[in-house]
Structure 1
Amino acid sequence: MGLIPLVVARIALANIRARRRLDGVPTLLVEKGKILEDNLKKEKYHVNDLLEELRLKGVFNIADLNFAILETSGQISVQLKPEKQPVTVPDMNLSATRQGLCANLIIDGRILYQHLKLVNRDETWLREELKKQNIEDMGQVLLASMDGNGNLYIDVKDDQLEEFNVLK
């Protein structure tokens, strides 16, 4: 029994026809922004499953897609239409600067003093920055972090945002 997977793997490596039969082939699910229903049915894939996987890939509008392919691994690969692809630094003929990681300064209301020291700041500076955002109590802060350019991000606990959920 232990030899069967080894023999099958050897056959798949040696013969492309056998590989396609054993491993399968990728399936085109979206072509030029149009869902290929027959291929969805063939793969027993529901439209909701497709939409979820696309959202996980950062695609929220199916019209932005050139192609979506269901790979043999079960993952979906996407190619955006050229006009929807993000602009890269080389596209703009710019040189990239190193960004580094963000330093978390407050997590769940607790100051991370070691991280403050790493970014050459102190608690006084941090409290002043919080005051500028009308935050008096450190316990209100869920997360405060600083990026490599010195920009401070602050997210407070219990944000009262109006919910607009089209996924229900």
Structure 2
Amino acid sequence: MNEGLVVVVRAIISFFTLLILTKFLGKEQISQLTFFDYILGITIGSIASEATVDLSSRAWPHFIGLVSWAGLAFLMQFITLKWRYAAKVIEGEPTIVIMNGKIMENVLRKMKFRISDILTLLRNQGIFDLNEVDYAILEPNGSLSVLKKAEYLPLTPKDMNIPVKPTGISTELVYDGVLIEENLRQMNKDKKWLLSQLKKYGINDISEAFLVTLNDAGSLYVDKYKDNIKKVKDIGDYKGPH
């Protein structure tokens, strides 16, 4: 019983220590997560967990180690902010992996990246055809920045001098087959209106809809549980064990 109480007390102390340290280090740990930040976060979390459950040793050495690691992380942040060269060494720098539409194979090999990894990152950007890409830059945090070729850049209303109205944020009216009445009222709509709209999509009951959203411009998105897609495409680059 005493050991359990000690674990609870240590857990509370570790929890609030981590909370304070993460606030102290700032939001960069999440918003710009590099490989170094990832390893650092795992290490600090491991020290905190040991401080909680390792009853064979005193707690204070663990907490000193925890604060020390956080202090070193803050020091590295300060150094990288003040010294650009140190930031390039510690955090890395952007690397061009596609230039003028051509894949830089040597660069990929040097960075230990597969072309399938680049294709995945491109699909995350909504690009499914390499012919659309002019430049692609791999950022230090692992994300991919893409510049499309001029002929594939989207034509904006500003280019055509067309005035547009803001669409606003989409609001969920139905989520997982359940009607969210409060959101429906906020959009100045009622259940009767919603049912009439759903019938246009072949839905007779709200429980048949997986997700329904509506934005301020009146654009309705409807997704059914049964989408009647007869054949699902396989975009895998090789046949796996499954």
Letter in 2 for 1:158: K
Q: What are the ranges of 5 or more consecutive residues in structure 2 without an aligned counterpart?
A: 1-67, 237-242
**1:121 aligned to 2:189?**
yes
**1:111 aligned to 2:179?**
yes
**Which range moves more in the overlay, 74-83 or 128-137?**
128-137
**Which range moves more in the overlay, 129-138 or 36-45?**
129-138
CA deviations over 1:84-119 (Å, ceiling 9, x no partner): 111223222223312112232222222222222222
Letter in 2 for 1:148: D
Task: Give the C-alpha shift of residue 5 in structure 1.
Answer: 5.2
- Which residue does 1:93 correspond to in 2? 161
Equivalent-residue separation in structure 2 for 1:6 and 1:118 (angstroms): 45
- Which residue does 1:52 correspond to in 2? 120
Equivalent-residue separation in structure 1 for 2:173 and 2:205 (angstroms): 15
TM-score (ref. length: structure 1) = 0.84
- Contact 1:33–1:65 (Cα < 8 Å) also in 2: yes
**1:151 aligned to 2:199?**
no
- Contact 1:33–1:63 (Cα < 8 Å) also in 2: yes
- Which residue does 1:74 correspond to in 2? 142
| Secondary structure, aligned partner of 2:204 | coil
Letter in 1 for 2:156: T
Q: What are the ranges of 5 or more consecutive residues in structure 1 without an aligned counterpart?
A: none
Identity of aligned residues (%): 32
Q: 1:23–1:109: structure 2 CA closer, same or farther, 3 Å change rule?
A: closer
Task: Give the C-alpha shift of residue 32 in structure 1.
Answer: 1.4
- Contact 1:34–1:63 (Cα < 8 Å) also in 2: no
Q: 1:138–1:41: structure 2 CA closer, same or farther, 3 Å change rule?
A: same
TM-score (ref. length: structure 2) = 0.61
- Contact 2:176–2:211 (Cα < 8 Å) also in 1: yes
**Which range moves more in the overlay, 142-151 or 11-20?**
11-20
Q: 1:161–1:118: structure 2 CA closer, same or farther, 3 Å change rule?
A: same
**Which range moves more in the overlay, 77-86 or 110-119?**
110-119
Query: Rg larger in 1 or in 2?
Result: 2
Structural RMSD (CA):
2.4
- Contact 1:106–1:143 (Cα < 8 Å) also in 2: yes
Equivalent-residue separation in structure 1 for 2:142 and 2:189 (angstroms): 47
- Which residue does 1:36 correspond to in 2? 104
CA deviations over 1:8-48 (Å, ceiling 9, x no partner): 55554555444433433321100111111000001000011
Equivalent-residue separation in structure 2 for 1:20 and 1:11 (angstroms): 11
